[in-house]
Amino acid sequence: MNPLLPELDRRKTQSAVEAIFEKYRIYKTITFEVREMSVTASYTERFHGPTNVTSDQTAAVAIYNVDMPAARKQYCETIESIVERLGEREQTLIRERYMKQDDVFDYKVYNHILEPPVSKDTYTKIRTRAFYKLALALADRGLLKLQELEKAAKSKMS
C-alpha cells in the first residue's frame, strides 16, 4: 500500500460509509416538516430583571425553515458528486445498493444488476475499493474522520 495513504479498518470504514448513505436515503425519501409558529399565548413564570436575552420566535422558525432544506440538499449533492468520481462499476454498485432503496441486497446487485454478473468475492473487492475511495473523499469534505477508521498499529515484539 502507498505509504501516503492511510490503512483503514475495513469493517469500521464500511459501517461509517453505510451510515452516510443511510442519512442520504433518509434525506432523499422523507419530506421536510416545516415548523410553524405558535400563536397561542403561553403562561410562563417571569422573573423581573434583565436577562440580556432577546428571542424572536418568528425569526428562529423562518431561519430553520430555510436553512434545514438547504443543508439537506447540499448534503445530498455532496454525496452524489463524490459518487460520480468513482469508476463505472463502483458507481453502479454504490448507486444501486446504497443510494436507491432500503430493500436492495448484495446478491441482487452482483447477480442481476452488474453487467456482466460477478461472483460474491469480486463484488466484495469492488465494494471495498469503492468504500476506501469514498472514505478518503468524505474525510476530505469533513464528513468522516480518518483517524477513527485507521487500523490499530500492531505492537512489535522485540
For residue 120, which amino acid is it? K
Kindly report whether the global pTM for this prediction surpasses the value 0.75.
yes
pLDDT single digits (tens) 58-104:
888 888 999 999 999 999 999 999 999 999 999 999 999 999 887 88
51-to-47, 115, 133 alpha-carbon distances in Å: 9, 66, 51
Residue 107's alpha-carbon distances to 91, 126, 127, 157, in angstroms, are 17, 14, 13, 42
What are 10-67's pLDDT values in tens digits? Answer: 999 999 999 999 999 999 998 888 888 877 766 666 666 666 666 678 888 888 999 9
| pLDDT at 156 exceeding the cut of 60 | no
Rounded CA separation 69/77 (Å): 12
